[in-house]
Structure 1
Amino acid sequence: MAMTRRLHYALLALTGILVAGLVALVVTVYLLLQPERFTAMLQEQAAKAGLELSLASPASPTLFPRPALELQGLTLTAQGASMPILLAANGRLALPWSTLFGGPTVISRLEIDAPRVDLDALQAWLSSLPSGSAGAPNIPRIDTGVRIARGTLVRGNQLLLRDFSLDAGSLLTGQPFPLVVSAKDAGGTAMQLRLTATPRIQGNALQLNDINLDFSRGTTLSMQLTGEAHWHGAADAAATLAGSLDEADAGRYDISLGLTPANQSDPLLLALKLDGPGNHVDLRLPPLAVARWWSHIGDTEGPRLDPPPGSGHIDAATFDMAGVHVEGLHLELAPAPAASTAKPAAPATSDTQ
């Protein structure tokens, strides 16, 4: 009986020690998480890109099932701007245990719920970036991927995309990176993009090798492209992609895309060539200006019929857009003429003798 009582007390003491040790471990790890440390890191990285990151409330740390920071009310705004680029209900940063104990600051996984992205604000920020950057771009290491759910893309108060979702795998240099994006346009038509590429830092550029891109819109259009791309930082980006486009009512087309970086006199330009049954396209387009033009196609005042910005030509057997049907279309695009600095001629005078 005495032995049983001593064993009972020993078990109680051991249990108390284990509970106390567990509580101490939880408190220690909780303190090591230091949410302000990671909040400051995110804000610092945003500031380097000319952005301001704010939260509706301080980051809230959690430990189970893995260490993470819960972010409430995210707002991302270009420095000096009033319109936010991104608003999100909440986000979550999962962190490896090694980071808590003084290891490298690494994000295991990034999750964002219900973001709202304003294309006008995004375009204004991109336009403010310098054309080049010193040093190699930095690939943020994300061990287990990124997930964005229930997003919307707008231009001011105009809805462009809804039900936006993004799922990406591990982002590690030298390893294939998978990405799947899906959304619905304002009319409810579903779209999906699947991308795989291998990111690498080469010299002072971020290189994307072995790009494979598949895009579909509804059940009537699909596109497959392969190629390479690189980024020197800021707006200095280039890409070469080629493949095919299948349109249910028109047939199969050969397509090629080339992206050239902005410089002191020219914006970022996209060269597009398309050849297929009854259609030929050869254009050089500034993507941001084209996005602005496209957003006005469905204006409530009536469809805009002015040509998109850029240069080149379009030959199409038939053309349908925003309720407009055209047959035998030939369109020549020319860059907007530069403003003249010549002085106007003096008005003619008449002799009255």
Structure 2
Amino acid sequence: MRLRRGLALAAGIAVVVLLLVALAAAVLMQPRQLARIALGSVGDALGLDIAFEGEARYRLRGTPLLEVHDVAARAPGGGEPLLRARRVLVSLPWSTLRDRGAPLVLERIELDAPVLELARLQAWLAGRPPGAGRLPTLSDGIGVRDGRLLGDGWALAGLDLDVASFAEGQPVAAGARGILELAAPLRVDFDLRLAATRPANGAGVSARGKVQIHGAGWRLPAFVAASGPLRFDDGVLRVAPLKLGMSAEYRGDGEPLRFTLGAHGPLRLRDGIWTLVPAAIALRGKDLIPDVDAHGRFAFGDALLLGLDGAMPAWPATWPALPAPLGTSTSPLAATLVYAGARDASDPVGLHLRRDGAQAVAGLRIADVLTWMDAAATGSPLPPLHARASAPRIEIAGAVLEGVEVELEPGDAP
């Protein structure tokens, strides 16, 4: 009798346990519940609160696959999201779901229409603890479609990003396409190959590929190559030193103008302001574009600031000829360029040229000069600028003039 009651009790307990297990499994296998568990694992590893408001789907056969919509990621403590996405797909092994305290190992992440706030991202990164094991491993990489990165006064739009694989301590390679939106109508289309020695502070990074700068009535297609060590400390992003090379062609209404440009110096992003100080610049032109070597400073934020001191080894043969003895001198022309104004470089530029005791101080607008270059073969031989020049001595048609001073206004002709 006791044996029967014992067997009945054991059977009852087994039934209850099975019912509880079945109920727990039913709750766990609800898409939204599974999504919370999976995103919780990712969020715990990254130090983020990740939530979603839209639909959730999953696939458990093979490697679990989770798809959620209307996702937002915040730094702990709430506040505005640093990342929003219309759709997120996460492929992650069972081990990641079972052990949320282990290093985060995923197969792949895909994001559709993500919007990333750079200032909030920088604040989150600045608060991350030091040490290894903070980055996820993604064996099949990352895919981003139609993303946006919002900076202070600029944005990356239509961003497509493909990362083949991602693991701490391993090289990273990616392809990136999109549009850099600056001060309208200025924008930059880009299609680049990106690489890093490893995903860590101080890693060497590089970018190579095609860009095309668009302005009002002109465009500048170019091939660029840039590299340097990347660091992020105390809210400041640095590439120090940045090495930049560009082969470009200005295309306006006239013949294309070809040139190459090199830049070297510490690039910094702090509080929404990009700076390259000190900057070393080397310009090599053809036809109307001169050769110039210069040093100075560059800043881009609410305004564009540029100050360069350098030299032109020779006066371009395609420019209006200088009178003797300036035109026959082999001395380089010292040059100073200063700009402080609108980010699209539409405000006046100050230019100071010096050679053998002679000098010229000019104010010009880049767009006007580029238009003059386009029409130089058929238009005025003098560029559209305000200028004041002086020379201790010049020779014109056999006459020798001393203590010469000349003023030039736009529209003046000889």
| Secondary structure of residue in 2 paired with 1:144 | coil
Matched AA of 1:216 = K
Q: What one-letter code is carried by the residue in structure 1 that aligns with 2:297? A: L
How many pairs does the alignment contain?
271
2:42 is paired with a residue whose SS is helix
Cα gap change, 1:237 to 1:53, in 2 (>3 Å) = farther
Q: Paired residue for 1:247? A: 248
User: After superposition, what is the alpha-carbon deviation per residue over 1:176-212, rounded to whole angstroms, capped at 9, x for unaligned?
Assistant: 21111111345675312211122176xxxx4424x33
Post-superposition shift, 1:144? 1.1
Please give the alpha-carbon distance, in whole angstroms, between the structure 1 residues aligned to 2:189 and 2:67. Answer: 31
2:275/2:297 contact within 8 Å kept: no
**What do the CA deviations read for 1:320-344 (whole angstroms, capped 9, x no partner)?**
97473756647xxxxxxxxxxxxxx
Of residues 208, 212, 222, the one that matches 1:214 is 208
Tell me if the contact between 1:36 and 1:59 (Cα under 8 Å) persists in the aligned partners. no
**1:275 maps to 2:286:** no
- Larger Rg: 1 or 2? 2
TM-score (norm 1): 0.59
> What SS is found at the alignment partner of 2:106?
coil
Map residues 28-39 of structure 1 onto 2, 5 A cutoff. Answer: 34-39=34-39
Structure 2 distance, partners of 1:172, 1:150, is 24
User: Aligned in 2, Cα 1:259/1:217: closer, same or farther, shift over 3 Å?
Assistant: closer
Structure 2 unaligned residues grouped into runs of 5+: 1-21, 213-219, 250-256, 285-289, 310-335, 353-414
Deviation at 1:260, TM superposition (A): 6.3
Counterpart of 1:184?
179
User: In the alignment, does 2:69 pair up with 1:68?
Assistant: no
Within a 5 Å distance, the mapping from 1:1-353 to structure 2 comes to: 34-46=34-46, 48=47, 52-57=49-54, 59-64=56-61, 66-78=63-75, 83-99=80-96, 105-118=104-117, 122-123=118-119, 126=122, 130=126, 134-136=130-132, 138-154=134-150, 160-185=155-180, 190-199=189-198, 206-209=201-204, 211-218=205-212, 220-230=221-231, 235=236, 239-248=240-249, 249=257, 251-259=259-267, 270-271=276-277, 272-277=279-284, 278=290, 279=292, 280=294, 282-283=296-297, 285=299, 290-291=300-301, 293=302, 307-308=304-305, 313=308, 315=336, 322=344, 324=346, 329=351
**1:50-90: CA deviation from partner (whole Å, max 9, x where unpaired):** x5432114754323574212121112345677544332111
**CA separation of 1:281 and 1:45: change in aligned 2, threshold 3 A:** farther
- Contact 2:41-2:97 at 8 Å conserved across structures: no
1:150 CA drift (Å): 1.5
CA distance in 1, matches of 2:138, 2:64: 15
Q: Offset of 1:316 from its aligned partner?
A: 5.1
Deviations 1:145-182 (A, max 9, x none): 100002234569x8844321111111123432111111
Q: SS at the partner of 1:92?
A: strand
Q: Letter of the aligned partner of 2:84 in structure 1? A: L
CA distance in 2, matches of 1:136, 1:101: 22
Which residue does 1:302 correspond to in 2? none
Q: For residues 95 and 128 of structure 1, do their structure 2 counterparts lie closer, same or farther at Cα, with a shift above 3 Å needed?
A: closer
Letter in structure 1 aligned against 2:206: N
3-state DSSP of counterpart to 2:138: coil
Question: Hey, what's the Cα distance between the residues in 1 that align with 2:126 and 2:62?
Answer: 42
Question: Equivalent residue of 2:159, what SS?
Answer: strand
Residue identity in the other structure for 1:151: G
Paired position in structure 2 for 1:349: none
Match of 2:404 in 1: none
Amino acid at match of 1:166: L
CA shift for structure 1 position 312:
5.5
Cα 1:132/1:67, change in 2 over 3 Å: closer
Amino acid of the residue matched to residue 41 of structure 2? M
What SS does the aligned partner of 1:324 have? Answer: coil
**Counterpart residue identity of residue 263, structure 2:** I
1:148 alignment partner AA:
V
Identity among equivalent pairs (%): 20
Cα RMSD over matched residues?
4.5
1:270 to 1:62, Cα distance in 2 relative to 1, 3 A: farther
Partners of 1:133 and 1:233 within 8 A in 2: no
Any unmatched runs of 5+ in structure 1? 1-23, 294-305, 331-353
Q: 1:66 to 1:192 in 2, by over 3 A?
A: same
